[in-house]
């Protein structure tokens, strides 16, 4: 119902925004014109509309001006990119797709995947050669079935050495063979003398339609003093698994958990409401108070809303809360984004949040999927194409109106993952989890030296943004 209200508002606003085209009829610019959909959709909902002169309501004097403007762009994608506000620094996340089915699936944790997540690095001493380190193997995926493990290193695909210019093409194939290597730091902290050597092992992976359960690991760890620590690696804020997430906290409560380590290092975001549910599960003592706030552009300010701490899941069961006053959250620089950052930012206003890992991505904005329909919703969409957009539509702040900084949230304990020291997720000697457990069991903070590692390679903005979404369903 909330989403229907939003779309009804968008319908009214879209009608108002495009009223300058009083003589516009479907014979001039039809509803099937995808570029027309792009401009009107962005004009209606884009968070940074006021920063883009071409999105001004009075931008065009006549239908002819508008038609000529659209015709100047080679494709809907080119038009869309031209309407983004500082895409290299601020809006790195809005996307357009020519297949909204894939987008819908991905936002619900369904994708064509072989179950591998990895980081790519430059080979020490090279500015062109590349290697990959597996950071995550998804449960019950093709990679899991093959026995692949976190910390495995590969330097070639299909027998072709990876380089900065070919890794995108090689690793985007539906089927490919990884050629594995051994990483040797030669017993020194100096990266320059690290070497990689092919070891003759390889595995062929094929991507399949895969539904990821975002609850990757959930376990209770008992420390020497009998303190019960809950450890949860949670990889996406997916509303389809709200009840399963609530079940994890029921188990934690039953186990007598009094400390929690929430591992969000590979969680790029998801549902804002699910993030509010998670905050309520961690606490419980703030029911009814403001968890986070969403602010839209000046034309959609009536959509501004507060997300509250709650004691129940809408249409579901009572929330299982731990009533904690402190939580440990594990982060990474490339993947901890959006709703993950919302959780840190929102909880920090109420309880002690100890962040361990790296600076987060720095995405404070919320998006929504819009379609080519009269009210921008899914129903009534144009059946002539499969384009949709996922633009930024709102900013998220905590109860104190504090944004997540654009350069991310700074960790309290800085600790980076390296290809040679990744460790086994969920095991007490895995470096980031170990840091949390040491901090829990000691009165003072454990100090780690931040040492250099191989240089990470940045992937394209489009692919990053698909993994770094915070959206309203």
User: What mean pLDDT is reported for the chain?
Assistant: 88
DSSP state for residue 185 in the 8-state scheme: -
CA 392 to CA 469: how far, in whole Å? 9
pLDDT at position 458: 66
Structure confidence at residue 447 as a pLDDT band (50, 70, 90): low
DSSP state for residue 241 in the 8-state scheme: G
pLDDT at position 448: 56
CA 73 to CA 77: how far, in whole Å? 9
By the 8 A CB rule, do 181 and 151 touch?
no
What is the CB-side half-sphere exposure of residue 34 using CA atoms within 13 A? 19
Structure confidence at residue 364 as a pLDDT band (50, 70, 90): confident
CA 339 to CA 470: how far, in whole Å? 5
Asked if pLDDT for residue 456 goes beyond 90, the answer is: no
More confident residue, 133 or 20: 133
Nearest to residue 413, comparing CAs of 447, 452, 362? 447
Q: Per the CATH hierarchy, to which homologous superfamily does domain 110-211 belong?
A: PDZ domain (2.30.42.10)
Asked if pLDDT for residue 107 goes beyond 80, the answer is: no
CA 414 to CA 458: how far, in whole Å? 20
| pLDDT above 90 as % of the chain | 75
pTM to 2 decimals?
A: 0.86
pLDDT at position 373: 93
pLDDT at position 316: 79
Structure confidence at residue 10 as a pLDDT band (50, 70, 90): very low
More confident residue, 30 or 175: 175
Mean pLDDT for 426-436 is 95
Asked if pLDDT for residue 463 goes beyond 80, the answer is: no
Mean pLDDT for 113-131 is 93
pLDDT at position 216: 98
Distances (CA, A) of 436 to 159, 214, 234, 326, 358: 40, 21, 16, 12, 14
**Fold (topology level) of 215-450+462-471:** 2-enoyl-CoA Hydratase; Chain A, domain 1 (3.90.226)
Mean pLDDT for 312-333 is 95
- Residue-wise pLDDT tens digits, 150-159: 999 999 999 9
- Residue-wise pLDDT tens digits, 69-78: 999 999 999 9
pLDDT at position 452: 67
The total number of residues shown for the chain amounts to 473
Nearest to residue 220, comparing CAs of 235, 232, 205, 207? 232
Mean pLDDT for 20-34 is 44
pLDDT at position 464: 42
CA 401 to CA 292: how far, in whole Å? 8
Asked if pLDDT for residue 358 goes beyond 60, the answer is: yes
CA 107 to CA 402: how far, in whole Å? 26
CA 44 to CA 7: how far, in whole Å? 11
Mean pLDDT for 147-174 is 96
Residue boundaries of the structural domains of the chain: 2-97, 110-211, 215-450+462-471
Phi, psi of 452 (to 5 degrees): -70, 155
Q: Is 392 helix (H, G, I), strand (E, B) or coil?
A: strand
CA 153 to CA 131: how far, in whole Å? 7
Asked if pLDDT for residue 467 goes beyond 80, the answer is: no
pLDDT at position 7: 40
CA 286 to CA 61: how far, in whole Å? 52
Least trusted range by pLDDT, from 108-122, 163-177, 384-398: 108-122
pLDDT at position 470: 52
pLDDT at position 92: 87
pLDDT at position 472: 54
pLDDT at position 450: 54
pLDDT at position 256: 98
Structure confidence at residue 30 as a pLDDT band (50, 70, 90): very low
């Amino acid at each position: 119902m909330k989403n229907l209200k939003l779309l009804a508002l968008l319908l009214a606003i879209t009608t108002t925004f495009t009223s300058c085209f009083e003589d516009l009829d479907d014979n001039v610019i039809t509803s099937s014109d995808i570029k027309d959909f792009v401009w009107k959709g962005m004009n209606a909902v884009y968070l940074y509309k006021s920063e883009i002169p071409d999105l001004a309501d009075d931008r065009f004097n006549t239908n002819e001006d508008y038609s000529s403007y659209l015709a100047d762009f080679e494709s809907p994608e080119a038009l869309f990119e031209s309407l983004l506000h500082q895409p290299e620094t601020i809006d790195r996340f809005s996307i357009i797709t020519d297949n909204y089915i894939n987008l819908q699936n991905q936002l619900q944790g369904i994708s064509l995947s072989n179950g591998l997540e990895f980081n790519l690095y430059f080979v020490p001493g090279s500015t062109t050669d590349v290697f990959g380190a597996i950071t995550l193997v998804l449960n019950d995926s093709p990679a899991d079935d093959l026995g692949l493990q976190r910390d495995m290193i590969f330097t070639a695909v299909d027998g072709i050495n990876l380089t900065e210019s070919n890794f995108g093409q090689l690793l985007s194939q539906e089927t490919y063979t990884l050629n594995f290597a051994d990483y040797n730091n030669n017993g020194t902290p100096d990266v320059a003398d690290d070497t990689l050597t092919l070891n003759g092992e390889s595995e062929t992976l094929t991507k399949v339609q895969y539904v990821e359960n975002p609850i990757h690991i959930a376990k209770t760890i008992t420390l020497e003093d009998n303190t019960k620590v809950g450890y949860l690696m949670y990889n996406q804020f997916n509303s389809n698994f709200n009840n399963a997430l609530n079940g994890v906290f029921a188990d934690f409560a039953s186990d007598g958990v009094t400390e929690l380590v929430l591992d969000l290092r590979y969680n790029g975001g998801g549902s804002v409401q699910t993030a509010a549910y998670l905050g309520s599960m961690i606490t419980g003592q703030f029911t009814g108070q403001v968890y986070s706030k969403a602010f839209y552009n000046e034309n959609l300010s009536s959509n501004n809303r507060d997300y509250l701490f709650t004691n129940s899941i809408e249409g579901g069961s009572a929330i299982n809360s731990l009533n904690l006053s402190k939580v440990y959250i594990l982060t990474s620089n490339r993947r901890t984004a959006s709703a993950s950052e919302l959780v840190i930012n929102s909880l920090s206003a109420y309880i002690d949040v100890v962040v361990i890992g790296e600076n987060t991505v720095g995405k404070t904005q919320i998006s929504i999927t819009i379609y080519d329909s009269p009210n921008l919703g899914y129903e009534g969409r144009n059946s002539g194409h499969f384009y949709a957009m996922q633009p930024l539509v709102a900013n998220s702040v905590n109860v104190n109106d504090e944004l997540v900084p654009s350069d991310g949230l700074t960790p309290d304990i800085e600790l980076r993952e390296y290809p040679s020291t990744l460790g086994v997720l969920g095991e007490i000697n895995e470096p980031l989890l170990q840091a949390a457990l040491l901090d829990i069991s000691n009165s003072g903070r454990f100090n780690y030296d931040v040492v250099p590692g191989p240089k990470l390679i940045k992937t394209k903005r489009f692919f990053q943004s698909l993994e770094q979404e915070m959206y309203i369903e």
